Amino acid sequence: MENIDMGHLLRQMDKASQGVMNDPGAQKQIKDFWNMLNELSENNPEDYKKFIENHLKEGIEDAKIEKAKKAVYSQFSFCVKTYTKGKKEIVLINFCHSDKILSPLKQDKSIADLNDLDSWVVIPASFSAQKTKKTEGKKPMIYYDAHIHSRVIEHALKDLLVKTHIVSSVLRRLAWKEKIELLYDRGDFTFLDSYRSPNDEVGPEGHFLDIGADPEEYNEFSKRILTETQEQEIKIPGLEENKEVNKVMIEEIVNYTIESKDDFKTPEINVEENTDFVKIEVQMPEENSMRDINLELNVSSVKISSPNYYTLIKFKSSKLSENEVIAKWLKKSHMLKLDIKILKF
């Protein structure tokens, strides 16, 4: 019987959806392969069983190799020690870096200039699965690896204030992703030099990137958004009779949009919504007091302006209570925090 490379044929079959099966030669090979299996199963069941088991093992190993090729192997830089709310648990985050992580983004979600830190609005980060360690008589410990772009770490190591701001931003993203009450303001965390893990690993393992930090996913997303934006037509008031159309791109995030002004910096913004409240965090490193900030609130939007920053957050479906809002300025982290009640109808 002709010797047939089962692994090769299975790979051919796996690519069928990509058009490989239009190849008559590939089709003949696969037909011969199935005929061979049928003949083997009928004439020699034991050999058939061994054949299948051996090649399944080979297939699993091949799959592991292919998967390993997609893993990112980051380099450790420094560790951050912080706590959950009330200091109930110690949280250790190893900051790791690779140039295969998505680099910082501007407000419009385009790639920012790596040398212009003022243009960085989002610092993409990919987090490992949570690991824990419990020792009797001691606080429980939680471990993460945070993977970010190498140039971000490079800037962090040059300037302590920049490092603190970057860490605070990444920790906020971790708290949001993992739904944990993490202390992430300046002064809440300390820096450690060595890699920390529950099982004494000396460095990060191969890591599969979260979608939000994967350059390939970002490129696909950008292409899709560009196509949708080119197809979207928004009418400008006063021009309807002339049927003139202007095409604009607005950053759409779940239930709200964020608008900015060219003459002002756009602060880093985090918005969370639940059934009762909208919680907004606005990072403004160049402001030092609540007195410098002007806050305007109505039923559908929040406008925040200062000598250096401007942002307008418009909500599409949530209706905000103008009389039930708590505003707090965090001096250490230069952050405005808002808790706004959602109106019920």
Judge whether residue 142 has pLDDT over 70: yes
Provide the pLDDT for residue 128. 94
Provide the pLDDT for residue 224. 63
Beta sheet of 320-330, edge-to-edge order: 268-273, 277-283, 335-342, 320-330
Integer Cα distance of 166 and 114 in angstroms: 13
Judge whether residue 55 has pLDDT over 80: no
Q: What percent of the chain has pLDDT over 90?
A: 30
Name the β-bridge partners of 325. Answer: 340
Burial 196-223 (b: 16+ CB within 10 A, else e): bbeeeeeebeebebbebbbbeebeeeee
Q: With contact defined as beta carbons under 8 Å apart, do 208 and 74 qualify?
A: no
Provide the pLDDT for residue 204. 94
Is the full-model pTM beyond 0.85?
A: no
Burial 228-245 (b: 16+ CB within 10 A, else e): eeeeeeeeeeeeeeeeee
Judge whether residue 246 has pLDDT over 70: no
Q: What are 159-197's pLDDT values in tens digits?
A: 998 999 899 989 988 988 888 889 888 788 999 999 999
- Per mean pLDDT, which of 117-126, 192-201, 240-249, 322-331 is the most reliable? 192-201
Q: With contact defined as beta carbons under 8 Å apart, do 213 and 205 qualify?
A: no
Provide the pLDDT for residue 305. 92
- Which residue did the predictor score with more confidence, 280 or 255? 280
Q: What are 79-135's pLDDT values in tens digits?
A: 999 999 889 999 999 999 999 999 998 877 789 999 998 888 889 999 999 999 998
Count of helices and strands (H, E) across the chain? 6, 17
For residues 323-335, average pLDDT: 86
Judge whether residue 150 has pLDDT over 90: yes
Provide the pLDDT for residue 100. 93
Provide the pLDDT for residue 331. 85
Provide the pLDDT for residue 336. 92
Provide the pLDDT for residue 327. 87
Q: What are 26-39's pLDDT values in tens digits?
A: 566 666 666 776 77
Provide the pLDDT for residue 210. 86
